[in-house]
Each structure stands twice: as C-alpha cells, then as structure tokens.
Amino acid sequence: MLDDPHHRPTARHLRQFAKNMRHEPTDAEAAMWRLLRDRRLSAYKFRRQVPIESYILDFVCFEKRLVIEIDGSQHVKSRRDAVRDAALASEGFAIARYWNNDVLQQPTSVLEDILAKLAGR
C-alpha cells in the first residue's frame, strides 16, 4: 500500500521533475499552497508535488489519504487522469479536483470543500 513515498523507490527523473514543479508552480498551485502549507488548514499536513509511482500529485495529505489536484482545461475528460485516479483509489486515496479559476476566485469555497472531504475520511 502506498504510504509516505520516502519509503518507496521513485525514479530519479520523476523526483527531479517534481522538484522543478515545486519551484515553478502555476498561479493556482501557488495560491493553494499558501492556504495549505505549514498545517494552515485545521492542522492537516499537506505535501506538494509528490511523486508516487509514475505520477506527480499536486497536493497530498497522507494522514487522511486525500489527494488534491488543481486542474486547467487540459484535464477536461482526461483519460490519463481517470486511469491515475483509479490507481490511486485502489491504494485507498480519495481524489479531489478543483479548477484553477475556482482556486483563484473562490478559495474559501474550495477550502470548505476540502475540509468536508477531510472530515469524511
């Protein structure tokens, strides 16, 4: 079962790509990180741009096994996202997806939804 990825081998190129993504977030990812970092959301610990298997997750709370993805229009009806979500769900993760515009324009609503999902896990 997938736990903290520090305990699982991850391809070096994937770790490097995740590191690069942490240094160059999208505007929506940067905004979400400001809201989640340092246990700012009800003391839940989140990590960002976490490589797991062959995927990089935008944000993950391992305690509650909740993955948060911040998506743009390229993710509408994405087959790759559906396959990834199924693989993560089989490992006990729930996936919450939010549009970039929602994170930037309605952050309070997004945080309320995340809190509800965390409470339900």
- The mean pLDDT of the chain is 87
Q: Record the tokens describing residue 73, joined without a space.
A: 């229009």
Closest C-alpha among 47, 58, 53 to residue 21 = 58
30-60 confidence digits (pLDDT tens): 999 999 999 999 999 999 999 888 888 999 9
Secondary structure of the chain in the HEC alphabet? CCCCHHHCCCCHHHHHHHHHHHHCCCHHHHHHHHHHHHHCCCCCCCEEEEEECCEEEEEEECCCCEEEEEECHHHCCCHHHHHHHHHHHHCCCEEEEEEHHHHHHCHHHHHHHHHHHHHCC
For 78-110, write each residue's pLDDT tens digit.
788 889 999 999 999 999 999 999 999 999 999
Residues 114/96, Cβ–Cβ less than 8 Å: yes
Q: What structural domains does the chain harbor?
A: 5-119 (3.40.960.10)
Tokens of 89: 């769900």
